[in-house]
Amino acid sequence: MKNLILVLLALGTFSCSSSAQKSMADNKDCNIEKVKKKDKEWKAQLDDIQYNVARKSGTERAFSGVYWDNKKEGVYKCIGCDLPLYSSKTKFKSGTGWPSFYEAVEPCNVKEIKDTSYGMVRIEVVCARCESHLGHVFNDGPKPTGMRHCINSASLSFEEEKM
């Protein structure tokens, strides 16, 4: 399983090209009020896994998160500040074991940052309001955008669409 994850990470690294970098929104035209909290406030709000992922840029194990296989209709929100991030309408089965979306519900709600950790070059995705780590974005997704926002369930809450 570890080897599979390493291969998936390596494939993601090499698929991250200039087109992914061109999609990086600098959020300078976005008017989102920031949420700032002290570390002890985050620890009180989040469980251990959520804190490690959202505040320390950790990653949950593939196929272990509550939303990777969620098929319900609704909106995925930031676990830190409740900002709407992704719609179930843009969720797709990527086979990676993490919830994957081809675009954010609103471009201003996510911020993309170049990530060179672990000897790789990737694009990190964080919440634009509270800067919680969400996951990474790659340019190997489906149409219409060609992007794959590979997001940790631990960084999300889910609001089911009312029928």
- 16 has binding-site annotation: no
- 30 has binding-site annotation: no
Q: Within the chain, what is the greatest distance between any pair of CA atoms?
A: 46
Give CA–CA dist 151/67, Å, rounded. Answer: 10
Instruction: Judge whether 85 and 77 are in contact, CB under 8 Å.
Output: yes
DSSP strand E in the chain: where?
Answer: 74-78, 84-87, 91-92, 100-101, 110-115, 122-127, 133-138, 148-151, 156-160
Instruction: Judge whether 123 and 140 are in contact, CB under 8 Å.
Output: no
Instruction: Judge whether 24 and 123 are in contact, CB under 8 Å.
Output: yes
Catalytic center residues: 150
Residue set of the binding site: 78, 81, 127, 130
Residue set of the binding site for Zn(2+): 78, 81, 127, 130
